[in-house]
């Protein structure tokens, strides 16, 4: 593993790699969205350190949805105001250039979609959608946020049941078919690029192995350590937003792709 800590050098090496290769799957974690003002869940100021963890427990939600929405009010406001940063825009640009087969994200903030990424798997769901717990009718974040602003508990207009964000709570399982699909994507990729993930949360934590086990290479762009650092072809221990700005700048200058 080659560790690179300088943003400019990392951006140039990444540029050279992307010029030569075009079969990447991308995994993104909280480190991609923090530059947009979205707090992560497990960091020093993460959501689990400023709230009770059982707020995201399914049974707790069913018993007391009011507590969840009381907590979520400020977070949903933040999501509505947030915008994609350079990392989201870089990933979208790479998709446009035909370099990326799929983007697998652990994030639930919807920023990849705001950036325009199309080949996207939101493993843990998204706060951009809400569903009725009874009839599963779908609602948008805007619809739910309006109810919350009016101090109302969001309920289904069809059956009157409580609405739940379309994210995976504790006590819920991720569809095994989705897990198998991610494994297949990673296994068929020449490179797995990890942006801003510590790779400790399952099932995504195991996905890079599928690339490695099929003779693919792993590149990690993350300031913190991960369990896969020693297996990585390259590790860019850099600020993701600054790194992404430099790569985008090189693309604009037609430095390596044209």
Q: Of these residues, 88, 112, 124, 202, which one is catalytic?
A: 124
CB–CB of 133/107 below 8 Å? no
- Number of Cβ within 10 Å of residue 138's Cβ equals 11
Reference 72, options 16, 127, 8, 133; nearest CA is: 127
CB–CB of 162/155 below 8 Å? yes
Helix (H) or strand (E) holding 40: none
Q: Rounded to 5 degrees, what are φ and ψ at 154?
A: -60, 125
Helix (H) or strand (E) holding 39: none
88 is catalytic: no
- Residue 257 CA to residue 230 CA, distance in Å, equals 30
Contacts of 112 (CB under 8 A, 6+ apart): 28, 84, 88, 91, 92, 103, 105, 120, 122
Catalytic positions, written as ranges: 124
């Amino acid at each position: 593993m080659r560790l690179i800590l300088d943003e400019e050098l990392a951006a140039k090496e990444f540029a050279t790699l992307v010029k030569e290769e075009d079969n990447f799957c991308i995994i993104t974690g909280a480190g991609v969205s923090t530059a947009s003002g979205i707090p992560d869940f497990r960091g020093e100021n993460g959501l689990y350190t400023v709230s009770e963890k059982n707020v995201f427990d399914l049974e707790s939600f069913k018993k007391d949805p009011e507590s969840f929405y009381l907590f979520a009010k400020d977070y949903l406001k933040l999501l509505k105001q947030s915008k994609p940063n350079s990392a989201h825009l870089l990933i979208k640009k790479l998709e446009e250039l035909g370099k990326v087969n799929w983007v697998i994200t652990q994030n639930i903030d919807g920023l990849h979609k705001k950036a325009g990424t199309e080949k996207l798997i939101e493993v843990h769901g998204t706060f951009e959608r809400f569903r009725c717990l009874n009839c599963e009718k779908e609602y948008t974040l805007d619809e739910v946020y309006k109810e919350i602003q009016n101090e109302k508990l969001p309920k289904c207009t069809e059956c009157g049941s409580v609405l739940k964000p379309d994210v995976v709570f504790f006590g819920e399982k991720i569809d095994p078919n989705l897990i198998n699909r991610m494994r297949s994507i990673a296994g068929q990729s020449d490179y797995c690029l990890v942006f801003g993930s510590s790779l400790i949360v399952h099932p995504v934590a195991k996905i890079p192995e599928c690339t490695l086990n099929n003779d693919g290479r792993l590149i990690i762009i993350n300031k913190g350590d991960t369990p896969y650092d020693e297996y990585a072809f390259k590790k860019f221990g850099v600020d993701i937003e600054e790194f992404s700005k430099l790569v985008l700048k090189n693309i604009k200058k037609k430095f390596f792709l044209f």
